[in-house]
């Protein structure tokens, strides 16, 4: 209790539904929709309606902090700017592109011949131009982590995927194990780091098996197993386990950069073939899907098309009594209309019947305080939030919440406690107004 290290608890992963299924490639949707809003900063379109675009062509620019390029994921014609659903639960504008099924590549996509002589700046620049973002769900531009002035000695690739149900990262690694190690070695060069670590869950020994085949070529890369707990995929959890050190705000304070495994695999394509971030893996799963699958699809594909490929919803599914979840079940969001688009921050879609129950009030068991990975006391934060006691919320460190959702998960009385804590955190962020 005194030496507080981040912690987690074991939860039922339910990954068996889609875990052992191969990665299905699906590269010819009729339309794709490229969002013009990303987690940070607005995005300005630089193509006209009716213009022909090629795969990998820059079609929009993200401006301000985290500026980078956004690319077309198919070849075809820009047909409209439409409002579509985003994984954040809001409707946002998107470029609609109609596929011409010719798959013409942009001129910039060609094998890179002088990989060995690329400098650190050139690699970071490639990262920026390719539009690479954190594909674990946050969608934070990757290159910003590499602009740090601090000396970096370790780059960690996060292959943990601790969210239940989701298996796309896992199947993506099994499909492209060598690309993962290559991507990591390029990332190490981009950070001028000496050590590379691939962290994965201890029960995924298959990852060890596929990586060990290529490991002798990369003497600076080590494998690291973390326990099967949630939230083991959280950046701070992994870094504390791998390095034995902790930090307060950013991993670079202790000379560490952490990236998602899918980002690493895509970065190897960026460096070797100049292919920007235009496709990504996604899991369509849950008890409400007939045949759950892992897909590898262009960014902007309609999820409804993928659900159809899965055989649709199970028979007798009543949408009114089911959740359509964008992202993982612990941190994801309920989408009201099943008209979602695959964006770069969407790791999966889960369709799951809801469970009703006659739930009593909070009985005060304190399990939420026990499981909190950052040692907060959710019951007290909820009380202070309901009484609008801003000073107390500050003292209770409500802004340190990592939104893992464990407090609601563990609650035997089904109290929406993590929702209250997240709202308290937002209240503090806005300065108590």
Name the site residues for another protein (rule: CB under 8 A): 1-2, 4, 11-12, 14, 164, 304, 319-325, 329-339, 350-352, 354-355, 357-366, 369-370, 374-377, 379-380, 392, 395-397, 400, 405-406, 408-414, 416, 418-419
* Cβ nearer to another protein, comparing 49 with 337: 337
Cα separation, 110 vs 228, whole angstroms:
41
At 361 the three-state DSSP class reads coil
Least distance from another protein to the Cβ atom of residue 333, Å: 7
Least distance from another protein to the Cβ atom of residue 363, Å: 5
Least distance from another protein to the Cβ atom of residue 74, Å: 23
* Cβ nearer to another protein, comparing 254 with 351: 351
Helix runs in 49-167, H state only: 120-129, 142-146
Least distance from another protein to the Cβ atom of residue 7, Å: 12
Cα separation, 232 vs 163, whole angstroms:
9
Across-strand partners of 82? 94
Widest distance between CA atoms in the chain: 65
Least distance from another protein to the Cβ atom of residue 377, Å: 4
Evaluate whether 164 touches 329 at the Cβ level (below 8 Å): yes
Q: Computed from CA positions of residues 104, 78, 70, 74, in that sequence, does the dihedral angle turn out positive or negative?
A: negative
Least distance from another protein to the Cβ atom of residue 411, Å: 6
Give me 26's structure tokens.
């699906």
Cα separation, 79 vs 98, whole angstroms:
6
* Cβ nearer to another protein, comparing 122 with 287: 287
* Cβ nearer to another protein, comparing 121 with 416: 416
Q: Which residues contact 376 (CB under 8 A, 6 or more apart)?
A: 369, 396, 397, 398, 400, 401, 421
* Cβ nearer to another protein, comparing 119 with 395: 395
Q: Which residues contact 214 (CB under 8 A, 6 or more apart)?
A: 177, 178, 181
Give me 263's structure tokens.
């980002």
* Cβ nearer to another protein, comparing 21 with 362: 362
* Cβ nearer to another protein, comparing 152 with 322: 322
Least distance from another protein to the Cβ atom of residue 4, Å: 5
């Amino acid at each position: 209790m005194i030496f507080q290290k981040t912690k987690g608890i074991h939860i039922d992963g339910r990954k068996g539904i889609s875990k052992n299924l191969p990665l299905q490639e699906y590269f010819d949707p009729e339309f794709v929709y490229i969002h013009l809003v990303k987690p940070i900063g607005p995005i300005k379109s630089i193509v006209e309606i009716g213009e022909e675009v090629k795969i990998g062509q820059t079609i929009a620019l993200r401006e301000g902090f985290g500026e980078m390029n956004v690319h077309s994921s198919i070849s075809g014609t820009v047909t409209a700017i439409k409002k579509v659903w985003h994984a954040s639960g809001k409707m946002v504008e998107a470029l609609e592109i109609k596929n011409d099924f010719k798959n013409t590549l942009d001129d910039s996509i060609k094998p890179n011949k002088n990989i060995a002589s690329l400098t650190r700046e050139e690699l970071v620049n490639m990262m920026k131009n390719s539009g690479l973002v954190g594909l674990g769900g946050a969608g934070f531009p990757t290159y910003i982590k590499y602009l740090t002035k601090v000396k970096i000695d370790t780059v960690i690739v996060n292959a943990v995927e601790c969210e239940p149900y989701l298996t796309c990262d896992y199947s993506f690694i099994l499909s492209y194990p060598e690309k993962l190690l290559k991507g990591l070695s390029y990332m190490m060069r981009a950070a001028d780091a000496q050590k590379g670590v691939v962290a994965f869950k201890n029960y995924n020994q298959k990852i060890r098996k596929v990586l060990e085949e290529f490991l002798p070529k990369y003497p600076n890369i080590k494998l690291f197993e973390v326990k099967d707990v949630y939230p083991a995929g959280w950046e701070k959890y992994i870094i504390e386990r791998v390095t034995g050190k902790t930090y307060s705000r950013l991993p670079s304070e202790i000379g560490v950069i952490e990236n998602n495994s899918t980002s690493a695999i895509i970065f190897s394509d960026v460096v070797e073939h100049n292919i920007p971030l235009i496709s990504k893996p996604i899991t369509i799963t849950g008890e409400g899907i007939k045949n759950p699958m892992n897909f590898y699809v262009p960014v902007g594909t309609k999820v409804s098309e993928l659900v159809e490929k899965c055989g649709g919803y199970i028979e007798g599914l009543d949408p009114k009594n089911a959740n359509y979840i964008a992202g993982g079940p612990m941190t994801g969001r309920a989408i009201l209309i099943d008209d979602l688009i695959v964006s770069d921050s969407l790791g999966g879609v889960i369709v799951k019947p809801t469970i009703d129950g006659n739930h009593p009030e909070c009985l005060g068991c304190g399990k939420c305080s026990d499981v909190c990975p950052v040692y907060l006391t959710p019951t007290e934060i909820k009380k202070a939030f309901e009484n609008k006691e801003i000073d107390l919320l500050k003292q209770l460190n409500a802004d340190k919440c990592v939104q893992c959702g464990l407090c609601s998960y563990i609650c035997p009385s089904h109290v929406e406690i993590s929702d209250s804590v997240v709202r308290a955190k937002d209240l503090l962020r806005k300065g108590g107004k």
